[in-house]
């Protein structure tokens, strides 16, 4: 029996990438040349600044796109906030700070909030491709107010799950935290129960199709793959789901994707 379980677990691990798609971890070993990553990070910054974005929702591709479930194009989502920047050499200027929720390196079931730079954000990216949502001006102002307040950190739930159900507060991932902050801004509330009620009423999460066998064995590989907060159907927050919500409700100034060659609308 032990040998059988070990064999089943080995087979499951070979299938793991199709489930473990969230890229909410800090950059590990670089997959792309640092100069290319830095140039792309600057390109995204310059594009946002040219469009007058004080805050934007930006996503990256942290895994091989061929390993991602259907309907999922990006693996990590954050807020980019136009800020006063002080460099290590003492120089000051204006640029974007990135507000992330990352898994902890020493415990993948726990997360913390981290601010880093655009270049840090794209370090370890599998592909230089970003999904971008620039909220309308009114919503940008509301988001900036919440991000600068204690509410931003108060909405963080350190219990991490790759496939967190956005309608509950049992677990959270980077995209759900982004969504929580978005709904706190939209409804002028920091009450988690109210945020979740509004989310359940108005936000349509992305359905993730996982066979029963994979779902059963997932926690044996990593507790961060738990689906304990879901019923039969698994649905989670994704960049695409947020983009659809904002487009449907006319909350975005522009939604687009950008790569080293061009920026195009979705």
For 33-73, the pLDDT digits (tens) are 999 999 999 999 999 999 999 999 999 998 888 878 888 89
Helix (H, G, I), strand (E, B) or coil at 227: coil
Kindly tell me if the per-residue pLDDT of 215 is higher than 60.
no
The pTM of the full predicted model, rounded to 2 decimals, is: 0.87
14 — pLDDT class (breaks 50, 70, 90): very low
Q: What are phi and psi of 142, to 5 degrees?
A: -70, -40
Beta bridge partners of 92: 86
Residue found by looking up tokens 């919440």 in the block: 146
Position 27 scores a pLDDT of 56
């Amino acid at each position: 029996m032990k040998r059988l379980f070990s064999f089943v677990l080995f087979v499951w691990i070979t299938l793991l990438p199709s489930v473990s798609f969230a890229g909410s971890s800090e950059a590990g070993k670089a997959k792309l040349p640092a100069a290319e990553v830095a140039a792309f990070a600057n390109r995204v910054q310059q594009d946002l600044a040219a469009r007058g974005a004080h805050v934007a929702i930006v996503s990256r591709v942290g895994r091989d796109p061929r390993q991602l479930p259907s309907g999922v194009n990006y693996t990590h989502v954050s807020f980019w906030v136009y800020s006063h920047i002080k460099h290590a050499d003492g120089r000051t200027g204006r640029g974007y700070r990135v507000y992330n929720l990352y898994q902890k390196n020493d415990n993948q079931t726990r997360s913390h909030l981290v601010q880093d730079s655009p270049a840090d954000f794209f370090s370890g990216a599998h592909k230089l491709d970003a999904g971008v949502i620039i909220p309308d001006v009114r919503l940008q102002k509301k988001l900036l107010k919440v991000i600068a307040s204690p509410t931003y950190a108060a909405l963080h739930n350190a219990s991490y799950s790759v496939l967190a159900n956005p309608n509950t507060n049992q677990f959270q991932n980077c995209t759900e935290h982004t969504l929580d902050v978005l709904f706190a801004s939209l409804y002028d509330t920091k009450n988690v129960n109210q945020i979740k009620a509004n989310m359940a009423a108005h936000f349509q999460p992305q359905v993730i199709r996982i066979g029963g066998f994979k779902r059963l064995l997932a926690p044996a590989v990593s507790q961060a793959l738990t689906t304990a907060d879901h019923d039969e159907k698994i649905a989670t927050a994704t960049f695409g789901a947020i983009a659809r919500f904002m487009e449907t409700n006319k909350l975005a100034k522009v939604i687009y994707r950008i790569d080293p060659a061009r920026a195009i609308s979705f």
